[in-house]
Amino acid sequence: MNKQTKSEGRKDAPSFQDLILRLERFWADQGCIILQPYDMEVGAATFHPATTLRSLGPNPWRAAYVQPSRRPKDGRYGENPNRLQHYYQFQVIMKPSPADIQDLYLESLFAIGIDRNNHDIRFVEDDWESPTLGAWGLGWEVWCDGMEVSQFTYFQQVGGFDSDPVSGELTYGLERLAMYVQSVDNVYDLNFNGGEGENKVTYGDVFLQAEQEYSRYNFGHADTAKLLEHFRDAEGECQALLTKGEAGERHLMVLPAYDQAIKASHIFNLLDARGVISVTERQAYILRVRDLTKACCAAWLKTDAGGAANG
């Protein structure tokens, strides 16, 4: 008696790319600058300097961007309908968090075609913490009919520094959201471009091969000896740049140093996926990355964008 929803989807729903365009339009109208993805491998959109670093210091900041996110361990060779080692997050960061940020967020959901009269949207407690960023915040996971579609966080600390003012961070899981609005059960069936028949391009057309190839790489072929070396290199380079950039009350090379911290973090994730990091070592690696990001955050506060006083 159970009706199996065919993975064909709703015809009137926005395509994957349309979803992104609508979100960008919506948040541009709220005064966010629309950035492009950061050109490095990151585990989450929060790592983008536009969030990690810009959320620090007194200067107001509003930005939105798509960020491809890499989680090597989550690869499933393209065989799992909703687990990917590479997926997209749509990120909104607003500092200070406006009083109506919850309403704005809800409006954004309506803007991408979620009918406010027929869907159950809920804010369910979920505190956020990133050990590698030395960051935490309070907020919710947002449910739409029982499906988690976004993470909503008020940053309280980043890089070990109190957030003052507080940034509001919204992270939409784009694939999930698209699967929801298009009513498809398998991520690879998502309509990417909105085309019909021959013109239709699916998410699978774009990414299935990549998922298969990267799963092989992540789990079987990434050269762990070289990666360990790369980790140490990135760590060393980050520390060296932080030292070289010191200029009294000022710092002159935070962003290049932070790139190295991001690199170390991603290499750690790869090593973790390869299963060469034991449980006890794991904690030590996380702390090493955290030391790097914390030092970068401290240096950021000595720059103009970080709000350091001129002098």
Partner 1 sequence: MAELLLELFSEEIPARMQVRARADLARLLGEKLKAAGLDFGEIKTFATPRRLTIVVDGVPGRSPDIKDERKGPRVGAPEQALAGFLKSSGLSSVDQAEIREDKKGSFYVALIEKPGRAAADVIAEIVPEIIKTFPWPKSMRWGSGRLRWVRPLHSILCLLDGKVVDFEIEGIKSGKETKGHRFMAPKSFAVKSFNDYAAKLKDAFVILDGDERAAKIAKAARELADKQGLALVEDEALLAENAGLAEWPVVLMGEFDEDFLSVPPEVLTTSMKSHQKCFSVTEGNALTNRFVLVANLEAKDGGKAITAGNERVIRARLADAKFFFDQDRKTSLEDRVTELKDITFHEKLGSQYERMNRVRNLAREIALLVKADPDLAERAAILAKADLVTLMVGEFPDLQGVMGRYYALDQQENPAVADAIAAHYKPQGPADEVPTDPVAIAVALADKLDTLTGFWAIDEKPTGSKDPFALRRAALGVIRIILENELRMALRDVLWRSLGAHVIGGVPPDRDETNILSDLIGFFADRLKVYLRDQGARHDLVDAVFALGGDDLLMIVRRVEALGRFLDAEDGEHLLAGTKRAMNILRIEEKKDGRAFDQAPDPALLELPEEKALAKAVDEVEQAAAKAILDEDFEAAMERMAMLRAPVDDFFDKVTVNADDPKLRENRLRLLNRIRATTQAVADFSKIAG
Nearest CB to partner 1, comparing residues 24 and 126: 126
Between 183 and 212, how does the x/- string for binding to partner 1 read (CB under 8 A)? x-x---------------------------
Is 77 one of the binding residues for partner 1 (CB under 8 A)? no
Number of residues that bind partner 1 (CB under 8 A): 42
For every residue of the chain, which 3-state class applies, written as one string?
A: CCCCCCCCCCCCCCCHHHHHHHHHHHHHHCCCEECCCCCCCCCCHHHCHHHHCCCCCCCCEEEEEEEEEECHHHCCCCCCCCCCCEEEEEEEEEECCCCCHHHHHHHHHHHCCCCCCCCCEEEEECCEEEHHHCEEEEEEEEEECCEEEEEEEEEEEECCEECCCCCEEEEEEHHHHHHHHHCCCCHHHCECCCCCHHHCCEHHHHHHHHHHHHHHHHHHHCCHHHHHHHHHHHHHHHHHHHHHCEECCEECCHHHHHHHHHHHHHHHHHHHHCCCCCHHHHHHHHHHHHHHHHHHHHHHCCCCCCCCCCC
Q: Which stretch binds partner 1 (CB under 8 A): 44-52, 90-98, 193-201, 232-240?
A: 90-98
Q: Which is nearer to partner 1, 188 or 231 (CB)?
A: 188
Q: How far is the CB of 224 from partner 1 (least distance, A)?
A: 19
- Does position 170 interact with partner 1 (CB under 8 A)? The reply is no
Which region among 43-51, 91-99, 219-227, 269-277 touches partner 1 (by CB under 8 A)? Answer: 91-99
Shortest approach of partner 1 to residue 146 CB, angstroms?
A: 4
Subset of 1-30 contacting partner 1 (CB under 8 A): 1-2, 4-5
Binding mask 118-157 for partner 1 (x = CB under 8 A): xxxxxxxx-x---------xxxx---xxxx------x-x-
Residue ranges that bind partner 1, judged by CB under 8 A: 1-2, 4-5, 81-82, 96-99, 102, 115-125, 127, 137-140, 144-147, 154, 156, 163-166, 168, 180, 183, 185, 279
